[in-house]
Amino acid sequence: MGLPAKFDVAVVGAGPAGASAAYTLARKGFKVVVLERGRAPGSKNLFGGRVYSRPLERIFEGFRNEAPIERWVKREILSFMTEDGMVSVEYTSNGSTSFTAYLSKLSAWMASKAESAGAVIVTDVRVDDVLMENGRAVGIVSGGDRLYADVVVIAEGVNRLLCEKMNIVTPLSPEDVALGVKHVIRLGTDKINERFGLDSDEGLAWFLVGKATDYMPGGAFLYTNSATVSLGIVVFLSHAVREVKRHVYDVLEDLRASLPFVRLLEGGSLVEYGAHLTPEAGLRMVPRKLYGDGFLIAGDAAGLLINLGYTVRGVDMAAFSGYLAAEAVEEAHSLGGYTSQNLSCYERKLNDSFIMKEMKRHSMVQKLMVKGHVFELYPHVLVGAAKRLFEFEETSPKLLEAVNDSLKGRCSRLRVLLDVVTLMRGP
Amino acid sequence: MAQQAATKQRIKRIRLEDALNANVWDVDTKPHIIVDSEKCAGCADKACTYLCPGGCFTLLAGKVLYSYEGCLECGTCRVVCPKGAVTWNYPLSGRGVQYRFG
């Protein structure tokens, strides 16, 4: 690889977690190398389309002014969709804490910040193994090349092949992850503003459940970027392996070609079609230990992502775990070395931060979502009730009658109550 | 009715191959997906043929044919295969799909 023989820190992966770790460490004066398998940082990254800003602002100086932000999300829609219609809840605001973005561009920006801070980014390098000596990580192996470092930050992404090889985790099972597939459709800024009722700096985040995924647990999403729209679906593989009835691409394509999207996106051209797995199991996917002798695990590889049903947090959690990994490296260094014991402060830092607090706080939502019935039942109940309420001829129902009629034959009121209780219960 | 017909008319489906062609690629010369056909034969559901978003797994006369050229590098095939028949890794040297937006 033609590099110095030894670095203080080797970071595997220049995604949000790895780039954040590298940036933070380089600024603290560590000699950092980042190994990225893609041709450029970001070229292997893909996500839905929205990022919560605050954690990134805490990590990167000048984030708001410099980062490749597309639009600030000021309009949110949550829709329940069936063959018969769609019920939506909409929220509009003057304020905003999240923005739409392209992850390839955001990762590239983060990596460029790390590089400016002094980190060495090496691309086109697939790390095949974490180099172990006497039970501790001492570097990485790529093909026939070895690169030594005092500590390794593993930010290899959701498939975490290295963690698997190191026997830290078992191979991913369908219960652990969801598959996201996404179209990026160029429509032009003017059309987007007109059709979605937005100003040029205002973004829309739209979540849909029900028919949008053939009622499979997960959901569909639409995000407006400056001149393009990201339209995609996410399906929990635990259910999809049993319930999928046709090719997942056709599920997405049917959504794009159905109302209201076919009208909203008319005249647009597809500029990218991509897919990525996403952690979906909440705490279940988090490895028992996120550190060991000479290494730390951050980002998707650590399973740090929250899906709340109406929004998803992944990039901010990944980036902040990378930031905390960097802090842990600094602390372990000051304690005299990168032993498992010294690096255990990483876990404490994660537990004290919003990351693990959020993961624990919302664990019941994830439990409810994997039950699956939620994604079929509630769209039908809501659309059924709306149909009764709005499509009357002579006799109009009372509000509760409409809801009761809609529930009838679909499920008991006890079922609904139990779901609500599950949601309300703490971890 | 006229409006419905008009809506129908302007729906142009994008075929999967065309969607994949919208991407930038630098396809590797060596496959990064290998399927053990013996293990694969024992599987009834063949979920990979529905869930690989690149359409890399197709059924022909009850057998799974696979390719790696349209691989979006998501890793789904490996996760959904109940027989552990899929050996999958990332392509080498930055090859494969090049996401410009992501």
In a domain, A90, yes or no: no
The model's confidence at residue A370, banded by pLDDT at 50, 70 and 90, is confident
Q: Are A44 and B10 within 8 A, CB to CB?
A: no
Check residue B1 and give its pLDDT.
45
The model's confidence at residue A5, banded by pLDDT at 50, 70 and 90, is low
Q: Are A38 and B78 within 8 A, CB to CB?
A: no
pLDDT at residue A4 greater than cutoff 70:
no
pLDDT at residue A2 greater than cutoff 70:
no
pLDDT at residue A408 greater than cutoff 50:
yes
Q: Are A262 and B98 within 8 A, CB to CB?
A: no
Q: Is A303 found in the same domain as A168?
A: yes
Q: Is A212 found in the same domain as A151?
A: no
Residue-range domain boundaries for chain B = 14-98
Check residue B4 and give its pLDDT.
54
Q: Are B79 and A124 within 8 A, CB to CB?
A: no
Q: Quick one: average pLDDT of A193-214?
A: 96
The nearest CA of chain B is from the CA of A280 a distance in Å of 13
Q: Are A37 and B90 within 8 A, CB to CB?
A: yes
Query: In B, which residues are within 8 Å of A179 by CB distance?
Result: 51, 53, 74, 76
Does A246 lie at the interface with B, CB-CB under 8 angstroms? yes
Does A237 lie at the interface with B, CB-CB under 8 angstroms? yes
Domain of A413 in residue numbering reads as 368-424
Check residue A243 and give its pLDDT.
92
In a domain, A274, yes or no: yes
Q: Are A257 and B13 within 8 A, CB to CB?
A: yes
End residue of a domain, out of A279, A296, A323:
A279
Domain CATH code at residue A305: 3.50.50.60
Q: Is A252 found in the same domain as A207?
A: yes
E runs forming strands in B19-80: 24-26, 33-35, 57-60, 63-66
Check residue A293 and give its pLDDT.
98
Check residue A374 and give its pLDDT.
86
Q: Is A296 found in the same domain as A274?
A: no
Query: In B, which residues are within 8 Å of A126 by CB distance?
Result: 89-93
In a domain, A89, yes or no: no
Cis peptide before A260 (omega within 30 of 0): yes
Q: Is A214 found in the same domain as A317?
A: no
CB < 8 Å from B in window 96-115 of A: 102-105, 107
Q: Is A394 found in the same domain as A354?
A: no
The amino acid at residue A120 is: V
Check residue A400 and give its pLDDT.
87
* The model's pTM: 0.95
The nearest CA of chain A is from the CA of B30 a distance in Å of 15
Strand pairing category for A86-92 and A50-52: unpaired
Helices (H), strands (E): how many in chain A? Answer: 17, 19
Q: Is A146 found in the same domain as A17?
A: yes
Q: Are B89 and A123 within 8 A, CB to CB?
A: no
In a domain, A82, yes or no: no
Smallest Cβ–Cβ distance between B51 and the set A124, A159, A244 belongs to A244
Q: Quick one: average pLDDT of A152-162?
A: 98
Check residue A9 and give its pLDDT.
98
Q: Minimum mean pLDDT among A130-139, A151-160, A165-174, A390-399: which range? A: A390-399
Q: Quick one: average pLDDT of A334-361?
A: 96
% of chain A beyond a pLDDT of 90: 84
In a domain, A91, yes or no: no
Using one digit for the tens of pLDDT, what is the confidence trace for A272-331? 999 999 998 788 899 999 999 999 999 999 999 988 888 899 999 999 999 999 999 999
The nearest CA of chain B is from the CA of A45 a distance in Å of 6
In a domain, A77, yes or no: no
The nearest CA of chain B is from the CA of A100 a distance in Å of 12
Give SS3 for A151.
strand
Q: Is A346 found in the same domain as A406?
A: no
- Evaluate whether A216 touches A235 at the Cβ level (below 8 Å): yes
Query: In B, which residues are within 8 Å of A172 by CB distance?
Result: 75, 78-79
pLDDT at residue A106 greater than cutoff 60:
yes
- Evaluate whether A79 touches A261 at the Cβ level (below 8 Å): no
Does A260 lie at the interface with B, CB-CB under 8 angstroms? no
102 residues of chain B, pLDDT tens digit each: 445 555 555 678 999 999 999 999 999 989 999 999 999 999 999 999 999 999 999 999 999 999 999 999 999 999 999 999 999 999 999 999 999 999
Q: Which residues pair with B57 in a beta bridge?
A: B66
Mean pLDDT over the full length of chain A:
94
Domain CATH code at residue A189: 3.30.9.10
E runs forming strands in A134-238: 136-142, 145-154, 177-186, 202-210, 218-224, 228-236
Check residue A3 and give its pLDDT.
65
Using one digit for the tens of pLDDT, what is the confidence trace for A250-273? 999 999 999 999 999 999 999 999
Count of all residues that appear for chain A in the document: 427
Distance CA A106, CA A59 (A): 14
End residue of a domain, out of A279, A294, A311:
A279
Element (H, E) at A276: strand A269-279
Q: Are A45 and B102 within 8 A, CB to CB?
A: yes
Does A228 lie at the interface with B, CB-CB under 8 angstroms? yes
Q: To probe the interface with A, which of B79, B86, B88, B92 has the most A CB atoms within 10 Å?
A: B79
E runs forming strands in A303-342: 306-307, 312-313
Q: Is A207 found in the same domain as A300?
A: no
**Domain B14-98: assigned CATH number:** 3.30.70.20
Query: In B, which residues are within 8 Å of A270 by CB distance?
Result: 14, 18-19, 22
The total of structural domains in chain A comes to 3
The nearest CA of chain A is from the CA of B27 a distance in Å of 12
Q: Quick one: average pLDDT of A209-222?
A: 96
End residue of a domain, out of A260, A279, A298:
A279
In a domain, A78, yes or no: no
